[in-house]
Structure 1
Amino acid sequence: MNPDLTGLWNTTMDGLDCCGFYNYTDFTDSPSYNDNGMAYPEQCCLKGICDLDNASNANVTGCLPKLVELIDENIIIIGAVALGIAALEIAAMAASMSMYRKIGSKSR
């Protein structure tokens, strides 16, 4: 298991209050599940030891629907940032072409 990826995934589940990509069953038979005595991540349960019974009764939403919801709520901001970056790229390209032409005309 990659500890960086595990940490990132745990942070995502903590921040979005979700469990797994779809739900707790994403972790069934995973190395982490098997190494921790067939226990699911704590984010998959509301309280107590996160075993199969607690995880299935908790009904914690998967992270995919939460991510889609987060993107939908912030689509205007995401679009504006993307357009801003595109405008900067175009301006940088225009400036570099202008400098290229000036350098080319001086060398003749």
Structure 2
Amino acid sequence: METLAAGNAEEEHNHPYIPYNFIQPKVIEQVSYAILAIGILIFLVSFLGYCGALKESQCMLTTYGILLIVILVLEIAAGILAVVYKSKVETETKDVLITSLSHYKPTTEETDAVTQAWDQLQMNLHCCGVNNYSDYAGNQDLRNASRLVPESCCILKEDKTPVSDTCTTSPNDSNSYFNKGCYSSVVSLLRNNLEIVIGIAAGLAIIEILGIFLSFCLAKNITDYEHR
């Protein structure tokens, strides 16, 4: 049994980014809270529309329509502000992301949602940090382990282990992506798929506008019927 346990421990150490990390309690808890919050918001808005139509309630349908208008206006306002204050938004976004790197946990025993998100981003986009590897300078756990970057910043082999054992302590162009920031990589990805992004945004806007139109039409029909 001890041999099996040691073998499992070694296997986990050699494959720090295997899907098992996604089912650790801390990751599940954090993701669950986020999904729960989003789910409650969607449920409340949808509940108003459903019950309003079912009970033929003008008040509920009107409230539903107004909520959709508020959501749509906020989305449009956010888009406009992001364009107008592009440089400030970029700076603030980078600051928030860099702050999140200080909470990165380099060991599998402490894996959380933030760590998993950064690992997957860095592995898939072949990048490191927000601007570059220096963004990890504020991570105490990495400093305590005498590392400059996590393994997800390294060039990995097929088995998801670094091509060089010195990558985390002495990163360079041949063993890591230490000078390639993830922020610019994400921006490039969005620009390369701009048509898809615009299509999704337009699709959501059309659905919301349709929901607003139908809710007010139904509310008006109910009012007209009651006054007959």
TM-score by length of 1: 0.86
The Cα RMSD (Å) is 1.7
Establish whether residue 73 from structure 1 lines up as the match of residue 192 from structure 2: yes
Establish whether residue 19 from structure 1 lines up as the match of residue 128 from structure 2: yes
The residue number in structure 1 matching 2:140 is 31
Compute the displacement of 1:37 (Å): 2.8
The residue number in structure 2 matching 1:100 is 219
Identity %: 26
Do the aligned residues in 1 keep the contact of 2:142 with 2:149 (CA within 8 Å)? yes
Compute the displacement of 1:4 (Å): 0.9
The residue number in structure 2 matching 1:8 is 117
Aligned counterparts of 1:39 and 1:82: Cα–Cα separation in 2: 39
Aligned residue pairs total: 105
Aligned counterparts of 1:37 and 1:63: Cα–Cα separation in 2: 23
Q: Deviations over 1:44-84 (max 9, x none)?
A: 33422311xx22x2262110111111011000110011111
Structure 2 counterpart of 1:29, which letter? Answer: G
Compute the displacement of 1:7 (Å): 0.9
Structure 1 segments of 4+ aligned residues over 3 angstroms from their partners: none
TM-score by length of 2: 0.43
Compute the displacement of 1:40 (Å): 1.7
Aligned counterparts of 1:37 and 1:70: Cα–Cα separation in 2: 32
Structure 1: gaps (5+ residues): none
Do the aligned residues in 1 keep the contact of 2:133 with 2:148 (CA within 8 Å)? no
Aligned counterparts of 2:145 and 2:187: Cα–Cα separation in 1: 30
Compute the displacement of 1:39 (Å): 4.2
Structure 1 pair 39/91, CA: closer, same or farther in 2 (3 Å)? same
Structure 2: gaps (5+ residues): 1-102, 105-111, 156-163
Aligned counterparts of 2:181 and 2:117: Cα–Cα separation in 1: 16
